[in-house]
Amino acid sequence: MIYPIVVYGDPVLKRKAKEIETGTDLHDLINDMFETMDAAHGIGLAAPQIGKSIRLFVVDGTPMEDEDMIDFKKVFINPEIVEETGDKWAFEEGCLSIPNIREEIERPAKLRIKYYDENWEFHDEEYDGMKARIIQHEYDHIEGVLFTDYLTPFKKRMLKGKLQNITKGKMKVEYRVLLPK
């Protein structure tokens, strides 16, 4: 099942998401999230983006056709970024919940993350480069943070009109969205 994607202005995107009870059967939801993400041509999708304020996100870097991304199709349940290290680097990020806006965001190069996968197996792993970037962006979603939160007040003012239009549904978007009530 393909969910509509919640867009900028919905309070669920600003809420810190809740821990999921260990062992909860999430297989159907996870399949739906991958389906929803694929349909929107995304490389990451967090549960709040389909209106569910729980600590779960999925990533799939394989469509990027980058050698580094070949095996980067993963599920992160109750993740915790325990360390971010390395020099900050800038990259132009986008977000399915903020269509047609891309901005350069600086993030630390490396991270260490603890999480459970779709089978409730525990992992403690390190990532860098684009994989770390995707994880950081999706992790922010379950913390109630959007990439626009990192912009300077000047940039925010510049984008204000565009963001308000997104909230009102005044944008071109090729996937189904759910506008804030």
Q: Given the rule CB under 5 A, which residues bind Ni ion?
A: 95
CB 30 within 8 A of CB 75: yes
Closest-CB residue for Ni ion? Answer: 95
Which of residues 50 and 95 has its CB atom nearest to Ni ion in the complex? Answer: 95
Among 103, 106, 118, 138, which one carries the catalytic annotation?
A: 138
Which of residues 5 and 77 has its CB atom nearest to Ni ion in the complex? Answer: 5
Q: Whole-number minimum distance, CB 142 to Ni ion, in Å?
A: 11
Which of residues 47 and 95 has its CB atom nearest to Ni ion in the complex? Answer: 95
Q: Whole-number minimum distance, CB 139 to Ni ion, in Å?
A: 10
Whole-angstrom Cα distance, residue 62 to residue 31?
16
Catalytic-residue membership of 126: no
CB 181 within 8 A of CB 167: no
Active centre residues (catalytic): 138
